[in-house]
Copies of this chain bind each other. A is one copy, B any other.
Amino acid sequence: MTIIGIVGGGQLGRMLALAAYPLGARVAFLDPAPDAPMSYLAQQITGAYDDELALDMLAQVSDVVTYEFENVPVTSAERIAQHVRVYPPPAALGVSQDRVEEKSFFRALEIPTPQFVEIDSLWDLEAGVAQLGLPAVLKTRRLCYDGKGQFVLRRPDQLENAFRALPNTRLILEPFVLFDRELSILAVRGADGDSACYPLVENHHREGILRKSIAPAPDIAPQLQDLAQDYVRRVLDALGYVGVLAIELFQVRDQLLANEIAPRVHNSGHWTIEGAATSQFENHARAILGLPLGSADARFHSVMLNFIGALPDTSALLQIPDARLHLYDKAPRAGRKLGHVTLVANDAQTLLERADRAARIISLEHTTFSR
C-alpha cells in the first residue's frame, strides 16, 4: 500500500485525497489546524510546517510526499526530501515563493512576463515609478496571494504610504498591465517526462480572489493554446517537474504574459473534476505515484464558481441540471473559500444559462455570463 503524504490539509489536499483513494493509495497529511478540511478523511499529523518532528513523522509514514500550497518552507520540503521522494521538486517552491525569482525564471526561459523593478527602499520605489510610470502595482516579493500584500499606485503622493503599509521592505514594482483577460494554463508531467496540458481557462477575480473560471476559455485561437502549452512545457522541463503545475497569464491581444506559477493543483483547475477526461487531482496523484497520466482533454463546457465567505443554498444549486457541489468542511469567514460548484453542459449556450442561474443563487449579482 502506497501512502501519499501531503503538506497542508486544505481543500486542495482534500480533493487530492479523494482522487488518490480510488488509485489505491492511503493519505497522511501535515497541518497545524486540528479541524482542517482534510481532518475527517485522512490521517493527520498535527504540527507547524516547520516543526521538524512533525516533518520527520510525515516523511517516515509516507512513500511519496507532495504539497497543496506553495508557501511550504523550502527548508521543510528539503528536509523531507532527505528521506523520501518529494514531488513537485522543492526547487519549484523556491521559484514560486519570490516574485522576483519567478519573473527572472520566466525571462530565463524566454517566456514573456510583465516588466518589474526590485524595491528595497522608498528611494528604489521612486526610481521604479519613474521607470515604469503610473499606474503601477507594488507587491511584497514573498507570501502574498489572494490579493493580500499589494497596492495599486495611481498618484505619486501614494508611494510613501503604500511603502510603509506593506509588511516588509522586500518588494517588487510592476506596471499595471492593461490585459484583455486573465487566463491560466495547467499541465501535468510524469517522472518519465511525459506530460499533458489542459485547455486554457478564463479566470475572473474580485478583491484578488478567484470567483469564477470558464473552461475551456471561450474564443481561444489554436495558436494561443499552442503558445501557452509551449510556455508551460518549458517551465515543467526546466524544473524537472513531477505533478500538476499552473501558470497564471495575462492575455493582451494575441500575446500571453506569465504572471505567476503555482507548483500544485490550482483553483482554476477545479472544473476538471467534471469537465475534463481526467481531473487535475487524479493526474497529480498519478504523476507522483508513477502511474500513466490520463487525458487532459475537455469533455464538456464548464463554469466553476467559488463560494467565498458564506455558503449558498446548496439545495437550490443542486436543482440545476448537471450542477456538481464541492464543499470543503470549513467554517464561514469573510474572504474564505468554502466550496465551489461546477456547471457543465454539452453546448456553450446551455452552460451560460446554468451558470447564470447558479450565479444568482450564489449572489454573484455582479457576474453576468451573457456576453
Binding site for B on A (CB under 8 A): 1, 14, 17-18, 21-24, 26-27, 40-43, 277, 286, 290-292, 294-295, 314-315, 318-319, 321-322, 324-327, 329, 339
Q: Which of B18, B24, B294, B314 contacts A24 (CB 8 A)?
A: B314
Do residues A325 and B22 form an inter-chain contact, with CB atoms below 8 A? yes
Task: Kindly list chain B residues whose C-beta atoms are within 8 Å of the C-beta of A24.
Answer: 314, 325, 327, 329, 339
Q: Which residues of B contact A41 (CB under 8 A)?
A: 17, 21, 27, 41-42
**Cβ–Cβ contact B339 & A322, under 8 A:** no
Residues of B within 8 A of A329 (CB): 1, 21, 24, 26
Question: Which residue of B is nearest A43, CB measured?
Answer: B40
Chain B minimum-CB-distance residue to A15: B22
Q: How far is the CA of A21 from the CA of B327 in the complex (A)?
A: 7
Identify which of B294, B321, B326 contacts A295 (C-beta below 8 A).
Answer: B321
Q: Are B322 and A277 in contact (CB under 8 A)?
A: yes
Q: Is B40 touching A27 in the complex (CB atoms < 8 A)?
A: yes
CB-nearest residue of chain B relative to A300? B299
A321 surroundings in chain B (CB, below 8 A): 295
Question: CA–CA, A67 to B158, complex, Å?
Answer: 63
Residue of B nearest to A316 (CB): B292
6 more CB-based (< 8 A) A-B contacts, given A26-B329, A291-B314, A291-B318? A14-B21, A17-B41, A21-B329, A23-B327, A26-B40, A291-B315
- Cα separation A307 to B211 with both chains bound (whole Å): 42
Q: Which residue of B lies closest to A18 (CB)?
A: B18
Do the beta carbons of A292 and B315 come within 8 Å of each other? yes
A-B contact pairs, 13 of them (CB 8 A): A18-B22, A22-B325, A22-B327, A24-B314, A24-B325, A24-B329, A27-B41, A41-B41, A277-B322, A292-B319, A294-B318, A294-B322, A295-B321
Residues of B contacting A322 in the complex (Cβ-Cβ under 8 angstroms)? 277, 294-295
Q: Give the Cβ gap from A258 to chain B, nearest Cβ, in Å.
A: 31
Q: Looking at the assembled complex, report how far the CB atom of A43 sits from the nearest CB atom of chain B, in whole angstroms.
A: 7
Using CB atoms, name the residue of chain B closest to A294: B318
- Residues of B near A314 (CB, < 8 A) are 23-24, 291
Q: How many whole Å from A272's CB to the nearest CB in chain B?
A: 14
Query: In the bound complex, what is the Cα–Cα distance between A76 and B91 (angstroms)?
Result: 55
Which chain B residue shows the least CB distance to A286? B318
Give complex CA distance A17, B339 in Å: 18
Give bound CA distance, A26 to B339, whole Å.
15
Q: Which residues of B contact A40 (CB under 8 A)?
A: 26-27, 42-43
Inside 8 A of A318's CB, which chain B residues have their CB? 286, 291-292, 294
A325 to B278 CA separation, bound complex (whole angstroms) = 12
Tell me if A326 and B22 are in contact (CB < 8 A): yes
A43 to B329, CA, bound (A): 15
Shortest Cβ distance from A293 into chain B, in angstroms? 9
Could you say which residues of chain B place their CB within 8 Å of the CB of A339? 24
CA distance A359 to B27 in the complex (A): 29
A134 to chain B, nearest CB (A): 45
Cα distance, A235 to B67, chains bound together (Å):
48
Question: Which of chain B's residues have a CB closer than 8 A to the CB of A23?
Answer: 314, 325, 327
CA distance A204 to B294 in the complex (A): 28
Please indicate the chain B residues that have their CB under 8 angstroms from the CB of A295 in the complex. Answer: 321-322
